[in-house]
Chain A
Amino acid sequence: MQPLDDLIHDAAMLAAGKTSATSQPIHFKTRAELLKGEPNDNEAEVARVMQICNSCRYCEGFCAVFPAMNRRLEFNKADVHYLANLCHNCGACLHACQYAPPHEFAVNVPQAMAKVRLDTYVDFAWPSSLGKLYRRNGLTLSLAVATGLALFLVLLVSLGGGLFQEPRVGSFYAIFPHNMLALMFGVVFLLAMVALGVGVSDFWRNVSPGSASSAAVAEAAHDALRLRYLDGGHGKGCNNEDDAFTLSRQRFHHLTFYGFMLCFAATCVATLDHYFLGYRAPYPFFSLPVILGTLGGIGLLIGPVGLLWLNLRRDPKNGDVAQQPMDRGFIALLLLTSLTGLLLLGLRDSSAMGLLLAVHLGVVMGLFLTMPYGKFAHGIFRTAALLKYSIEKRQPSKLQLKAD
């Protein structure tokens, strides 16, 4: 490992803007290289910072990263990937840090972790050549949505006869046949899940956890579903624009996630209704799919608006500003999904229904296409890291730090 003095010097240079992190060359690695090899600059920075944190430890009450760090004396690539994905970017440790810039140690844990997280997504993407889509994620998302929109607008014109039509009382499948939609979305969704699954299983093997007990699984599920590590360890929440704590990020994220899940549940219920009960859309306002979809859509409207508002106000030191297009693009995509969905529901009996349906489906298609190559991946990798933590903390420590 590079001597710490050099690393500190490098960090100070970096902090002083003498080299730009974004100007560093991007090189893609083969899968075999990922699992071994020398750490890249971002990984070396996390290892450097963790060595400083490990000799301080004041932050260990905030989240899982620091207790996980305490179990180690050195931070190899696998450790760094694991810790980076365990970090929720809450910012508490940045504001509490006695070594944060302008200190010459220039410790910024959330930023160092965020940079490695992006590397993790890129490196573990499947197929690996598509990992580069993360690097220019704003463009990726825009192209995916544009493709989705173009596809459904063309289909609308060619199958449905035109952009505006006589009201059809919500008969969506008169415009796009149900089987066609089910096939298109089913295939894209399955591909997305396979891509994410392959990526996260490589990540899982790389961080080499032990076997999961049911207690570990239950704890990890709880911590992921409750967003435990956005509560600051004291229940007052995480940091956003300054050193004050707020629970709004946790709450808006809950609205977003559970909104998304309700929308997903609405789709699943409707699909089951369609194929097994022969119960066809349009469903009445007080049917299960519409209630689930409406509630979910409202959550998916308020949640992303809140997250976007927080993101726009977040202290740029808290996280990696280079990832803002990815973060904001994903938020925007979720927002468009709920907005177009709710509009479609409201106006399903009007002449704009066909157009709105095509737009909504186009946006959803964009979302599905980019699931394995955008911010969506954070949930998968972070949950895997949380599970790893829940497993690891149940194992005896290999160290005997007897300062006691």
Chain B
Amino acid sequence: MIDVLVIGGGNAALCAALMAREAGASVMLLEAAPREWRGGNSQHTRNLRCMHDEPQDVLVETYPEEEFWQDLLKVTGGITDEHLARLVIRHSSSCRDWMRKHGVNFQPPLSGTLHLSRTNAFFMGGGKALINAYYRSAEQLGVQIRYNAAVDSLELDDSGKFIAAHAGDQRIEARSCVLACGGFESNREWVREAWGQNERGEWPGENFLVRGTRFNTGVLLKFLMDRGADVIGDPSQGHCVAIDARSPLYDGGICTRIDCVSLGIVVNREAKRFYDEGEDFWPKRYAIWGRLTALQPGQIAYSIIDAKAIGRFMPPVFPGITADTLPELARKVGLDEANFVRTIEEYNAACHVGTFDHTVLDDCHTSGIEPAKTHWALPLDTAPFYAFAVRPGITFTYLGLKVDETTAVRFNDQPSDNLFVAGEMMAGNVLGKGYTAGVGMSIGTAFGRIAGTQAAKAAQQQQKTGAQHAAA
């Protein structure tokens, strides 16, 4: 019998497998995806948010524990667990040497991400390069890796002790188990149900796109909820951004984001503005626009810019819809021409243009319209005009299994002896809502490593107990 079974194939799963193997356990990792799609959502990530008290290789200045904690407190609106959050934060300051040892390469921030040069360490080549490195290292260390191995159920005893996993017709026993197989964002039916029906009679979840893997269907999350495991989080909460409406249903990743929101205005299907596009720097606001869009009729919105914005934002993957006049743009996009033109004329008339500067919270703002645009408000008056249709793009869901610092899965507040959980499946303990760049990987790395260590320890314990039973 193997010691530790890791279910999942992304960052948290690999961290757990590597740590358990390093602790001397025999390890098998089951990845639901085929090899070419391995790595879950981690293949789309690009950095790790790291605490540091002094400049460290690719990280400039300092990012102390307290500041990281305050950032997390702010984005989650207090829906977090301070003890676990601080555990993640401290862990993030010391995990990178271990990551390097397993082949991960770091680099200074990518172009367009200088605002993260202090807080986030970037993976050279992005998350897929990190995943490749971890798989290579795992193979070299003798971790058994199986692809196309989706687990559909677990065998647990009454106390929640793990006995075996079932993947198709295979039954795999192990002395302990780490679950790190993601949220339920790619389960269309569950997302639909989680968001429910709105006052317009729509099912908003039907119109969401999934930014990441198609393999996070939440099968084991559902299984454990049904078995009475303790859960945490609101099923409608998650990391959700506004992405190009033309993006593929799955795996659109980073390139589908639309970064020109703060340079223009955003209107809904009725050609009306609905939120302050210039509230704060885009990197601090990108994570709210998915939810904002989800609340609009038809779950669609249109980011509108004019020629002045071109070259000032990260290029989009799909070219925008272009027109030389506003009525023409409305027709091409399919918005009511009169409403659209009226919205823009009202906005243009309300703009107080001071000194435009996209690098500071400048003094260009509107007055007399609702909602206001509080910074970077320039009239849309220079042809050609561009429109980008956006939809909610869900990155991962926050509903998860409730844990303490041991990462043990709990039943009626009693921890399982040998079943642990890491990554998106428990990120909701730290992230009740909101998001800040790179924190998903900090959570996955911290709890993945803890879960691996705990699982190796539990396996040893099981073996000892087993031997004692045999001796008796």
> A residues 228-259 with Cβ under 8 Å of B?
233-234, 236, 243-244
A52 touching B314 by the CB < 8 A rule? no
Rounded to whole Å, the gap between the CB of A39 and the closest CB of chain B is 16
19 CB-based A-B contacts, threshold 8 Å: A55-B316, A56-B126, A58-B129, A61-B122, A73-B311, A95-B132, A96-B125, A96-B126, A98-B44, A98-B126, A98-B251, A103-B251, A234-B107, A234-B124, A401-B111, A401-B313, A401-B315, A403-B282, A404-B283
B371 within 8 A of partner (CB): no
Rounded to whole Å, the gap between the CB of A138 and the closest CB of chain B is 32
Q: In the bound complex, how far is the Cα of B46 from the Cα of A356, in angstroms?
A: 58
Q: In the bound complex, how far is the Cα of B43 from the Cα of A110, in angstroms?
A: 20
Closest partner residue, chain A, to B111 (CB atom): A70
Q: In the bound complex, how far is the Cα of B193 from the Cα of A388, in angstroms?
A: 56
Interface flags, B304-329, vs A, CB<8A=1, else 0: 00000011111111110000000000
Interface flags, A73-86, vs B, CB<8A=1, else 0: 10000000000000
B36 touching A5 by the CB < 8 A rule? no
Interface flags, A257-286, vs B, CB<8A=1, else 0: 000000000000000000000000000000
Q: In the bound complex, how far is the Cα of B251 from the Cα of A56, in angstroms?
A: 13
B368 within 8 A of partner (CB): no
Interface size on B, residues (CB 8 A): 47
- Find chain B residues with CB under 8 A from A221 CB: none
Q: In the bound complex, how far is the Cα of B248 from the Cα of A244, in angstroms?
A: 29
Rounded to whole Å, the gap between the CB of B136 and the closest CB of chain A is 6
Rounded to whole Å, the gap between the CB of A93 and the closest CB of chain B is 7
- Find chain B residues with CB under 8 A from A57 CB: 110-112, 314
Rounded to whole Å, the gap between the CB of B339 and the closest CB of chain A is 27
Closest partner residue, chain B, to A239 (CB atom): B132
A58 touching B46 by the CB < 8 A rule? yes
B358 within 8 A of partner (CB): yes
Residues of A with Cβ closer than 8 Å to B? 1, 3-5, 51-52, 54-62, 67, 70, 73, 92-93, 95-99, 101-105, 233-234, 236, 243-244, 398-404
Contacts A58-B110, A98-B127, A243-B136; is A402 near B255 (CB within 8 Å)?
Answer: no
Q: In the bound complex, how far is the Cα of B123 from the Cα of A62, in angstroms?
A: 11
- Find chain A residues with CB under 8 A from B358 CB: 400, 402
B124 touching A61 by the CB < 8 A rule? yes
A403 touching B311 by the CB < 8 A rule? no
Q: In the bound complex, how far is the Cα of B124 from the Cα of A96, in angstroms?
A: 9
- Find chain B residues with CB under 8 A from A99 CB: 253, 255
- Find chain B residues with CB under 8 A from A59 CB: 125-126
B317 touching A61 by the CB < 8 A rule? no
Closest partner residue, chain B, to A1 (CB atom): B319
Looking at chain A's contact residues, the main secondary structure is loop
Partner among A4, A97, A404 whose Cβ is within 8 Å of the Cβ of B128: A97
Q: Among A51, A96, A236, A403, which residue has the most Cβ atoms of chain B within 10 A?
A: A403
B363 within 8 A of partner (CB): no
Given contacts A57-B111, A58-B125, A233-B124, 19 further A-B contacts (CB under 8 A): A4-B317, A51-B315, A55-B257, A57-B314, A61-B105, A92-B129, A96-B126, A96-B129, A97-B128, A98-B251, A98-B254, A99-B253, A103-B251, A243-B132, A399-B312, A402-B313, A403-B112, A403-B115, A403-B283
B126 touching A73 by the CB < 8 A rule? no
Interface flags, B233-252, vs A, CB<8A=1, else 0: 00000000000001010010
Rounded to whole Å, the gap between the CB of A12 and the closest CB of chain B is 11
Q: In the bound complex, how far is the Cα of B105 from the Cα of A254, in angstroms?
A: 25
B248 touching A403 by the CB < 8 A rule? no
Q: In the bound complex, how far is the Cα of B126 from the Cα of A244, in angstroms?
A: 15
Q: In the bound complex, how far is the Cα of B255 from the Cα of A45, in angstroms?
A: 18
Q: In the bound complex, how far is the Cα of B36 from the Cα of A67, in angstroms?
A: 27
- Find chain A residues with CB under 8 A from B256 CB: 55
B361 within 8 A of partner (CB): no
Q: In the bound complex, how far is the Cα of B284 from the Cα of A404, in angstroms?
A: 10
Q: In the bound complex, how far is the Cα of B289 from the Cα of A183, in angstroms?
A: 74
Closest partner residue, chain B, to A103 (CB atom): B251
Closest partner residue, chain B, to A101 (CB atom): B36
Rounded to whole Å, the gap between the CB of A98 and the closest CB of chain B is 5
- Find chain B residues with CB under 8 A from A98 CB: 43-44, 126-128, 251, 253-254
B114 touching A404 by the CB < 8 A rule? yes
A404 touching B317 by the CB < 8 A rule? no
A54 touching B114 by the CB < 8 A rule? no
- Find chain B residues with CB under 8 A from A73 CB: 310-311, 315
Q: In the bound complex, how far is the Cα of B36 from the Cα of A334, in angstroms?
A: 37
Q: In the bound complex, how far is the Cα of B126 from the Cα of A62, in angstroms?
A: 11
B128 touching A403 by the CB < 8 A rule? no
